Amino acid sequence: MSGLSSESARPWSTRGRQWLRTVLGPFLALVLVVAVFTVADNMQADGGKFATLRNAQNILVQSATVAIAALGMTMIIISAGIDLSAGTTMALSATVLAWFLREGYPPPLAVAIGVGTGCLAGFINGSLISLLRVVPFIITLGTMTIYLGLAKMIGRSTMVRPDRAQIPDWMGELLLPRLKYEWMIFPPGVWLLLILALLVSAVLRYTVFGKHVFAIGSSEATARLCGINVPLTRIAIYTIAGFFVGMAGLYQFARLTIGDPTSGTGKELPIIAAVVIGGGSLSGGRGSILGTLTGALIMQVISSGCTALKQPNPIQEIIIGAIIVAAVTVDQFRRGSG
């Protein structure tokens, strides 16, 4: 089984080196971006606030929603797929969650149903791709607006606003930079994200399922010839990814305290960008969880840094765009030389 993907067939030293290359690249980029902004901020008259714990908490909190959704997107992209519906699914999950809270259901149930909605949306994506044999790009382009429509239906075209009292404290504190317990350093949502990231990373690296994900992404035909149940594996991948998008919905709701059916429109792009900046290849077979987390952080550091340096929004948008192009170009060079 392990002979399927070219990756696992190589001796350890080569794999190790390749891992260093794919993961270290984005990581160095992150260090560089942080360093550049720290220096520039310190040269300002009233600077010195960028490289602080409070700002680090901020950046982690702000990137957590994109990052947790990007965990699933990494799996999808490794399997040579894409999920354009991630953004609207996230908003759908948040809206469903808000609706159940507002109607007075117990919070744990509301969370379970909200996250479950994400799983279901992913399951539908995977099933449609497998059954209809249409490329993921088209299927999820369609479900993107379907899920948006469903969210609007649930919200009756407006926000779903539970009462403040209906939102449990732990949910409000999930991603609050102002900490309840100082010793936690980061809010619980950030720790949960890190634990889940470790879990997915382990699944991709050490389980048969993980190897199948890489195999399908490297060559679907070969994977099929080797006896992998491609349709079933694909459904599993999209369902698991849906779980993470559902979690992103919970995260978004925790920050907004309202369910906004349209809040996910366009959010699939930063999620995909996080994976790509982190070294994921849209042609499949490559990507790493650590890289993805780094990618999400890079985007947020730039955004936060531009505020610190008083740079207007257009500059920030151009820098992020340039970084995406640069990341993918560097990635191609690496592939060429590797």
Partner 1 sequence: MQRWAFGLLLLAALAGCHRGEPSADSSPGANGNGKRLRIAVIPKGTTHVFWKSVHAGALQAAKELKASGVHVEIQWKGPLLENDREGQINVMQDFIAQGVDGIILAPLDSTALVTSVLDAKTAGIPTVIFDSGLADEDAIVSYVATDNYNGGALAAREIGKRLAGKGNVILLRYNVGSESTEQRERGFLETLHKEFPGLNILSDDQYSGTTPLEAQNKALELCNQFGDRVNGFFAVCEPNTVGVLGALEQEGLAGKVIFVGFDPGPQLVPALEAGKIHGLVLQDPLAMGYESVKTLVAHMQGKEVEKRIATGETMATPENMKQPEIQKLLVPEQAD
Closest distance of CB 15 from partner 1, Å:
20
Which tokens belong to 82? 């894409």
- Is the torsion defined by CA of 41, 46, 52, 56 positive or negative? negative
Q: How many CB atoms lie within 10 A of CB 322?
A: 11
Q: Rule CB under 8 A: choose which of 8, 19, 23, 58 binds partner 1.
A: 58
Q: Is 318 in the site for partner 1 (CB under 8 A)?
A: no
DSSP string, 296-332: HHHHHHHHHHHHHTT--HHHHHHHHHHHHHHHHHHHH
Residue 179: left (phi > 0), alpha (psi -120 to 50), or beta?
beta
- Choosing from 308, 323, 324, 327, the residue that interacts with partner 1 (CB under 8 A) is 308
Binding residue for partner 1, selected from 221, 312, 325, 336, defined by CB under 8 A: 312
Name the residue nearer to partner 1 (CB basis): 120 or 151: 151
Contact between 222 and partner 1 by CB under 8 A: the answer reads: no
Residues 76-115 that bind partner 1 (CB under 8 A): none
Least distance to partner 1, CB of residue 314, Å: 9
Can you tell me which residue has the tokens 């992020």?
A: 320
32 binds partner 1 (CB under 8 A): yes
Stretch that binds partner 1, among 6-14, 42-50, 113-121, 212-220 (CB under 8 A): 42-50
Q: What are phi and psi of 160, to 5 degrees?
A: -100, 115
Q: Which stretch binds partner 1 (CB under 8 A): 70-78, 194-202, 300-308, 321-329?
A: 300-308
Identity of the residue, 103 or 317, whose beta carbon is nearer to partner 1 in the bound complex: 317
Degrees to nearest 5, angle at CA 95 with 130 and 157: 100
The residues near 63 (Cβ < 8 Å, ≥ 6 apart) are 296, 297, 299, 300
What angle in degrees, to the nearest 10, is found between the helix axes of 289-308 and 268-277?
110
Give yes or no for residue 49 binding partner 1 (CB under 8 A). yes
Report the C-alpha gap between 131 and 134 in whole angstroms: 8
Of the candidates 74, 65, 111, 94, the one whose C-alpha atom is nearest the C-alpha of residue 279 is 74
Residue 295 and residue 272: Cα distance in Å, rounded?
10
With tokens 């985007």, the residue in question is 299
Site for partner 1 in 238-257 (CB under 8 A): 252, 255-257
User: Over the Cα atoms of the chain, what is R_g?
Assistant: 20
The stretch near partner 1 (CB under 8 A) out of 24-32, 81-89, 106-114, 120-128 is 24-32
Under the binding rule (CB under 8 A), the answer on residue 324 touching partner 1 is no
CB of 24 to partner 1, least distance (A): 9
Which member of 282, 307, 319, 334 binds partner 1 (CB under 8 A)? 307
Total residues at interface with partner 1 (CB under 8 A): 53
| Contact predicate 254/61, CB 8 Å | no
Q: Which lies closer to partner 1 via its Cβ, residue 48 or residue 149? A: 48
The span of 51-59, 121-129, 140-148, 236-244 binding partner 1 (CB under 8 A) equals 51-59
Please choose, out of 139-147, 188-196, 219-227, 311-319, the segment that lies near partner 1 by the rule CB under 8 A.
311-319
The contact pattern for partner 1, residues 149-188, with x = CB under 8 A and - = no contact, is -------xxxx-x--x-------x---xxx----------
| Selection from 215, 93, 210 nearest residue 155 by Cα | 93
Instruction: Give the interface with partner 1 as residue ranges (CB under 8 A).
Output: 28, 31-32, 35-36, 38-39, 42-52, 54-55, 57-58, 61-62, 65, 156-159, 161, 164, 172, 176-178, 252, 255-258, 260, 262-263, 266, 303-304, 307-308, 310, 312-313, 316-317
